[in-house]
Amino acid sequence: MLALVQRVARARVEVAGQTVGEIGPGLLVLVCAEPADDESLALKLVDKLLKLRILADAAGKMNRSLMDAGGGLLLVSQFTLAADTAGGNRPGFSGAAPPALGRALFERVVALARERHPDVQTGVFGADMQVHLINDGPVTIPLTLR
């Protein structure tokens, strides 16, 4: 499972001009399932996202997790994280899970996150989305879970 975590001052996702998910300070996470991924990796991802210490403490150090500091978690499906750019100029996406598996795993990540965190918002799987964010720091961290 692949994820790109961005610490944000605020973020929102729009579909067809309508806001479908919005958070204040917290984490925007782009999520991509790969073909061999399963539910255990969905749980591992949620654990990592909730415990990742990249939010500022009182001294301004990256020392607090989302569970410590509160804040929002905005999850957005993003199959292009699996892009293969090794051959030529057009990326290949065979490294991403097929849509049915990708949807099931993304929905499982969302469900697990909502069980454990009070402020979880999402985009719409497979939709043409516009993601608006103010990256705080900037802090952007790629995650690969296997």
Catalytic residue among 78, 106, 121, 122: 78
Side-chain-facing half-sphere of 39: CA atoms under 13 Å: 5
**Eight-state DSSP code of residue 126:** T
Q: Say how far apart CA 28 and CA 120 lie, in whole Å.
A: 10
Told to judge if 93 belongs to the known catalytic residues of this protein, a careful annotator would answer no
Q: What are the angstrom distances between the C-alpha of 16 and each of 20, 92, 122?
A: 10, 26, 15
Which one is catalytic: 6, 18, 19, 79?
79
Catalytic residue among 19, 80, 130, 140: 80
To the query of whether residue 18 is one of the catalytic residues in this protein, the response is no
Residue 140 known to be catalytic: no
| Residues marked as catalytic | 78-80
